[in-house]
Every structure is written in structure tokens, then in C-alpha cells.
Amino acid sequence: MTALGYNFGYLDENTKRMIRRAILKAVAIPGHQVPFGAREMPLPYGWGTGGIAVTASIIGTADTLKVIDQGADDTTNAVSIRRFFAKVTGVATTERTGEASIIQTRHRIPETPLRQGQILVYQVPMPEPLFRLEPRLAETRRMHALADYGLMHVKLYEDIARHGHVAISYGYPVLVGGRYLMSPSPIPAFDNPKMDRMPALQLFGAGREKRIYAVPPYTSVRSLDFEDHPFVPVRADAACALCQSRESYLDEVVVDDQGGRMFVCSDTDYCGTRQSHREAAE
Amino acid sequence: MSAPLLQASGLSLRFGAIAALDDVALEIHPGEVVAIVGESGSGKTTLLRVLSGLMRPEAGTVRYRDPAGAVHSVHDMGEAAMRRLHRSDWGFVHQNPRDGLRMRVSAGGNIGERLMAVGARHYGGIRAEATAWLQRVEIDPERIDGMPDKFSGGMQQRLQIARTLVTHPRLVFMDEPTGGLDVSVQAKLLDMIRGLVADLGLAVLIVTHDIAAARLLAHRLLVMRHGRVVEQGLTDRVLDDPQHEYTQLLVASVLAA
Ligand SMILES: Nc1ncnc2c1ncn2[C@@H]1O[C@H](COP(=O)(O)OP(=O)(O)OP(=O)(O)O)[C@@H](O)[C@H]1O
Ligand SMILES: [Mg+2]
Ligand SMILES: [Zn+2]
């Protein structure tokens, strides 16, 4: 019991066990969506209950937690979730990617490569990669069961015919372990290559749809494409205005009310670390 | 004669009191066109659906011979194998093109879908194939990125045929493919189907109300009534010298009209 009288990790032990069972199954079948039956969690909307349920079920006293939202540690949501877990578990928290054992994320993968032993927990708003193409859930389940993914390629074909390229910037569909079509949650397509053979375990929690899926360490994750239109991870063609990085994913931010704009890293830890290294070198 | 592509025997299926199929047997050989004629409600669509594995009979079997020569029981092959079959070695052309097309996908995407479903991953190649098929079914290749709902009924039906034939199936099921079309459009479409069948050496099982269409296309004719095949044989023989009184009536009514 923590000081507040909550069970460790907020969820009761039965719920955590149920979610852990779903996680184990998800790890055993990479990319396959596993339903879980957890009761409704009394949490504010927009917190990412799926991600929180996963984190709450895997976190232990020895863990160090990092929480990011759109790459940043300091947004309202990231701060709230980090404080929440600090309260209900008492574990250490950090903003440093390298120091965290669990990273809960919404919409980004950190720039600093993850290593074996770390776990990346994604908050997923919509787990079904086919939902825009096939609204019938029973049919999408059948398509997954039969690995019948021609329809997703039709969508890519249509994009190229219409726009000259695949017009998916976020949540670009991937094939996991050569078998299951998976939505990587709305991370930028730029982040997709980081998922491929990542040494860290990747867990995905969708609260509303009550689905968990996983990519075990060192699993192949391939972005769908055509031989003559290969997948290209795109980023703005600029350097970060703060750390000058030309490798990181950039956000365009408005800097004044004259319409001035600049590009900065979306990963605040990566950017801050680079800035302090530069200062130290000067 | 070569071994049959499809062989059915003892097919029966009831809907309540109605015997939609009553002990039906049938064979179709590679390159053969077989027409199924009969009045409305005689069980033609039901037969096509049962033969193609879309519907399960209460009794009887349907055997399919794959390109390697192995014979499979259609209703025991499992869903994955069935789907694979339906987008490679078989095709199904629906009466209403809306049932066979994706209306919110371009003409090129509609033709490309079956190619992609069987593993094609070269955009340029898929596009070239779609262009060639549009030409083949006499649709202006300029319309490759056009949406089917902007096409006329005849064009939609030709697009459905192109989409079905692009993977070179050996056996195609057609349920009144000229059904909803104007008479002049029907004639043109029938001509096109006849040309494709001859060029590609397709086996076709075609349901039609139209005796003239059957005479034009089919090597053999099956006449159905109340779920039974009352007569079958070479098309000219059945139409010129009908044995069963129902067939005599059917032929006479066409001649009178
Ligand atoms: N799903 C169903 N449920 C109940 N009855 C059905 C069903 N499908 C077909 N039937 C009945 O079975 C009989 C055969 O129908 P079927 O559609 O095969 O006839 P058809 O020869 O194709 O007719 P048409 O020329 O009008 O298309 C009809 O009496 C029909 O009403
Ligand atoms: Mg019918
Ligand atoms: Zn930066």
C-alpha cells in the first residue's frame, strides 16, 4: 500500500494479472491484437487509459519511469501521468531516455536509441490498422486471421495514383514479424524505422477498444510499400533552431505574433542534452 | 477429354419448404462454357453460389481440380484456401457491378486489388497491367484513376470483368452479367465476353435468362426448374431439339417473342 491508500500501481492485483496475461499473449504473437477485459478506470479522458493500464501492470519498485507526450516531458499530460505514477507507486521518475526502464509515450519514439531491458509503452487511440478501409470488425478480424492484407496495399496504390506518394504521415501501417499488419499508433512515419529490430520491448495499450499488442525485442517491423515506391521516413528539411540537429524529428513552432516560426526538436530530452553538451564544449 | 475442372453431384439445398436445389449434378471442363437457364426462382443463383463455395449445400459434393491436378472438396477446404482460390484460379462476376467492385476505389485500384492480393508489389507493373486490361475491355485507359460510380452501367460491368480476369483464373462464375443493361449494351458486352473466353481459354459457368446469349456463348446448356436440372446437353441440340416439355416451352416462348 502506498501512502494514499491505493494499491501499488493504482490497479487492483486481479486487474493487473488479467492485463499481464494479455501482455504475455501479445508478446507471444507479435503484432496481434489481444483483447483484455479490465474494468473501466476512473481516469480523465485524454490520459491514455490503455497505456496507463499497461504501465500500471508492469511497473515494479525498482523501475524508473519516463513519460512523454509528442516527444516532450513537460506537457500537461506527461507531467500529470508522471506525477500520478510517482504517487501510486513511489518509483523514481526521470526525463532522461537513457535512465528510464519504462517509457510511456504518446505519438513519438525517443531519438536516443533504446536498449535491451527497456520497455516502451505506447498509448493507442485506435488499434485497428484497417478500420478506415473496412468498418466491419468481424471482417477485419478475418483479414488478420488469413493475413489477407491486399486491401491495405490498395489504399497505398490509391495514394500514389492520386498524390504521387503514400499520403500517410502518422500511424503508417507496418507488418510485424512478417505476419501481422499493425498500427504503430499515431507516431510520425519518421519513427517507423526505429521500431524495426528494436532491442527494447514495445507494448501498445488501447483503452477504449480494450486491446493490447506487442513487438518483442529484435522483431522485424516493416513499413508497407512498393518496390518502385519504397517507404521514405520524412522530416522537415531544416536544422533544430536550438541544438542544430539535422537527424531529429522537428516540430514547427510559432515564436511571435508576427507569424515568425522555427523548427525545434520534438524530443525535449534529446534537444536539451545536445544543448548542454554544446555549452560544456564551449 | 481432359479431366473436369469442377465436378458436382447430389447437390440439394432447401429454404424452408422450397427446394432451391434438388439432386443437381454437373461437370465443367477446362475451356468450356456452360450456360444455366431457367425461370426466376428455379435455383440458378443458388447453384452458382453452392458450386463456388459461397454457400454450403445440405447434401452433395463439389470437387475442384487445382492447376497441379490435385482434387479438393470445395466445402471442406477451409476459409483461407477458399479466399485464395477466389482471387487466383477462380473469378465471380456479379449481376450488379456494385457487388463486385469497390465503388470508392479507382478503376486502376479495382483491377490492381487481385494482383496485390496475390503478392504484386511493383506499382508500375500493377499500373501497366491495369492499363492493358482497361484497353482489353474497351475502357479508355485515361480513366484509370476515375471512380467506378462515374462510369456507365456497361463500363462498370466491363471493369468488373477486367478486375476478375486480371489474375488469369481458369474458371469464372457469372450470374446474369448482362442483366441490368440496355439491349444494345448487352449485345456489345456479350461479344466482348465471347472474345475474352476464346482468347484466354476460360471455363465459364454463366447464368442467364437470355436464350440468345446462351446460344452465342455456351457449348453446353443446363435447363433448371424448381431446383432440378430437367435437361442438359450441347447448346444447339437442346435449343433445336428440346426433349423436356419445359424446355420446349422456354424455347417456344423466345421464338414467339
Ligand atoms: N437466402 C434465401 N432464403 C430463403 N429463400 C431463398 C434464399 N435464396 C434463394 N431462396 C429461394 O430459393 C429459390 C431459388 O432462388 P434463386 O435465387 O437461386 O433463383 P434464380 O433461379 O437465381 O432466380 P432469378 O432468375 O430470379 O435470379 C427461390 O424460390 C428463392 O426465393
Ligand atoms: Mg438469380
Ligand atoms: Zn534540438
Average pLDDT score over residue span A171-187: 97
Secondary-structure percent of chain B, ordered helix, strand, coil, rounded to 5: 45, 25, 30
What is the full DSSP assignment across A126-145? ---TTTTT---HHHHHHHHH
What is the CATH number for A36?
3.40.50.11310
> Is residue A100 pLDDT above 60, yes or no?
yes
pLDDT of residue A4: 59
Atom 14 in ligand 1: residue holding the nearest Cα: B43
Q: Is residue A211 part of a domain?
A: yes
The whole-number pLDDT of residue B2 equals 79
Residues 195-224 of A with CB under 8 A from B: none
Q: Residue A118: which pLDDT band, with cuts at 50, 70 and 90?
A: very high
State how far the Cα of B75 lies from the Cα of B202, in Å rounded to an integer: 23
pLDDT band at A259 (very low <50, low <70, confident <90, very high): confident
Q: Do A74 and A214 lie in a common domain?
A: yes
Q: Are residues A282 and A184 in the same domain?
A: no
Query: Do the chains contact at B109 and A161, CB–CB below 8 Å?
Result: yes
Question: Which listed ligand is nearest to B20 at the C-alpha?
Answer: 1
Give B103's contacts in chain A (Cβ within 8 Å): none
Q: How confident is the model at residue A142 (pLDDT cuts 50, 70, 90)?
A: very high
Q: How far apart are CA B122 and CA A236, in angstroms?
A: 28
Residue B62's pLDDT is: 98
| Ligand nearest, relative to CA of residue A244 | 3
- Give the pLDDT confidence score for residue A38 in this predicted structure: 66
Q: Is the dihedral of CA B69, B74, B77, B83 positive or negative?
A: positive
Tell me, what's the pLDDT at A46? 67
Give the pLDDT band (50/70/90) at residue A281. Answer: confident
User: Cβ separation of B112 and A154 shorter than 8 Å?
Assistant: yes
Residues B124, A157: C-beta atoms closer than 8 Å: no
The pairing of strands B220-225 and B228-234 is antiparallel
Say yes or no: A114 and A63 in one domain. Answer: yes
Asked if residue A115 belongs to a domain, the reply is yes
Q: Do A104 and A239 have their domain in common?
A: no
Question: Are the Cβ atoms of B121 and A146 closer than 8 angstroms?
Answer: no
**Residue-wise pLDDT tens digits, A35-89:** 998 666 777 766 789 999 999 999 999 999 999 999 999 999 999 999 999 999 9
C-alpha cell at A215: 513487438
Same domain assignment for residues A192 and A282 = no
Strand ranges (DSSP E) for B48-121? 59-65, 71-73, 90-93
For residue A143 the three cell numbers come to 483479414
* pLDDT tens digits along B7-42: 999 999 999 999 999 999 999 999 999 999 998 999
Cα-to-chain-centroid distance, residue A206: 11
Is residue A162 one of the residues assigned to a domain? no
A113-125: string of b/e by CB count within 10 Å (b at 16+)?
ebeeebbbbbbbb
Distances A234 to A112, A153, A165, B164 between C-alpha atoms, Å: 18, 20, 12, 37
Whether residue A216 sits in one domain with residue A239: no
Known catalytic residues of A are 31, 240, 243, 265, 271
Q: Three cell numbers at B24?
A: 443437381
The whole-angstrom separation of Cα A26 and Cα A159 is: 31
Distance CA A117, CA A217 (A): 9
Percentage of chain A beyond pLDDT 70 is 96
CA dihedral of residues B156, B158, B163, B167 (deg, nearest 10): 170
User: CA geometry: angle at B126 spanning B120 and B129, to 5°?
Assistant: 120
Q: Identify the domain containing residue A78 by its residue range.
A: 13-127+180-220
Ligand 1 mean position to B50 CA, how many Å?
12
Same domain, A200 and A79: yes
SS3 B122: coil
Please name every residue paired with B33 in a beta bridge, in sequence order, or none if there are none. B204
Distance CA A223, CA A175 (A): 6
> Cα–Cα distance between B101 and B107 in angstroms, integer?
9
Closest A-chain CA to B110? A154
CA distance linking residue A210 with residue A15, whole number of Å: 13
What spacing in Å lies between the alpha carbon of A211 and ligand 2's midpoint? 42
Q: How far is CA A199 from CA A27, A118, A195, A196, in A?
A: 14, 8, 9, 9
Is there a single domain that holds both residue A35 and residue A121? yes
Question: A183 C-alpha to center of ligand 3: Å?
Answer: 27
* E-state strands within A157-230: 174-176, 180-182, 201-206, 211-215, 221-223
Domain shared by A186 and A278, yes or no: no
DSSP label at residue B149: G
Write the residue in A148, A154, A228 that is nearest to B105 by C-beta: A154
Q: Is A162 on the interface with B (CB under 8 A)?
A: yes
Does residue A71 form part of some domain?
A: yes
Q: Which grid cell is A223?
A: 513499413
Task: Please check whether residue A120 lies inside any domain of the structure.
Answer: yes
Ion ligand 2, residues whose Cβ is below 5 A away: B 45
Domains held by chain A: number? 2
Query: What pLDDT was estimated at residue B251?
Result: 86
ipTM of the complex: 0.91
**Chain B residues with CB inside 8 Å of A226's CB?**
121-123
pTM confidence score: 0.91
Using pLDDT thresholds of 50, 70 and 90, give the confidence band for residue A3. Answer: low
Angle at A100 between CA A96 and CA A106, to 5 degrees: 80
- Protein residues placing their CB within 5 Å of the ion ligand 3: A 240, 242-243, 245, 265, 271
**Nearest C-alpha in A relative to B125:** A228
CB pairs < 8 Å spanning A and B: 53
Amino acid at B221: L
Any residues with Cβ below 6 Å from ligand 1, and which? B 15, 18, 20, 38, 40-46
**Residue A93 sits in the same domain as residue A188:** yes
Give the separation between CA B148 and CA B130, rounded to whole angstroms: 14
- Count Cβ neighbours within 10 Å for each residue of A131-157 and write b for 16 or more, e otherwise: eebeeeeeebeebbeeebbbbbbbbbb
Question: Which residue, among B49, B22, B47, has the nearest Cα to B36 in the 3D structure?
Answer: B47
Mean per-residue pLDDT for A204-221? 96
pLDDT at B256: 57
pLDDT computed for residue A48 by the predictor? 84
The verdict on residue A99 lying in a domain is yes
Indicate if A239 and A266 belong to the same structural domain. yes
Give the closest residue to A155 by CA, choosing from A143, A168, A146, A142: A168
Question: Given A172, A188, A220, which residue is the final one in a domain?
Answer: A220
> Does some domain include residue A144?
no
Residue A111 within any structural domain of the chain: yes
Contact A146 B144 (CB under 8 A): no
| Å from CA of B18 to ligand 1 middle | 9
CA distance A216 to A103: 15
Q: What does the pLDDT profile of chain B (257 residues) look like in tens digits?
A: 579 999 999 999 999 999 999 999 999 999 999 999 998 999 999 999 999 999 999 999 999 999 999 999 999 999 889 999 998 999 999 999 999 999 999 999 999 999 999 899 999 999 999 999 999 999 999 999 999 999 999 999 999 999 999 999 999 999 999 988 888 889 899 999 999 999 999 999 999 988 888 999 999 999 999 999 999 999 999 999 999 999 998 888 776 55
Give the distance between the most distant pair of CA atoms in chain A: 61
Contact list, A160 vs chain B (CB under 8 Å) = 123
Cβ distance of B122 and A157 shorter than 8 Å:
no
**Rg of the Cα atoms in chain A:** 19
Both A78 and A41 in one domain: the answer is: yes
CB B75 within 8 A of CB B62: yes
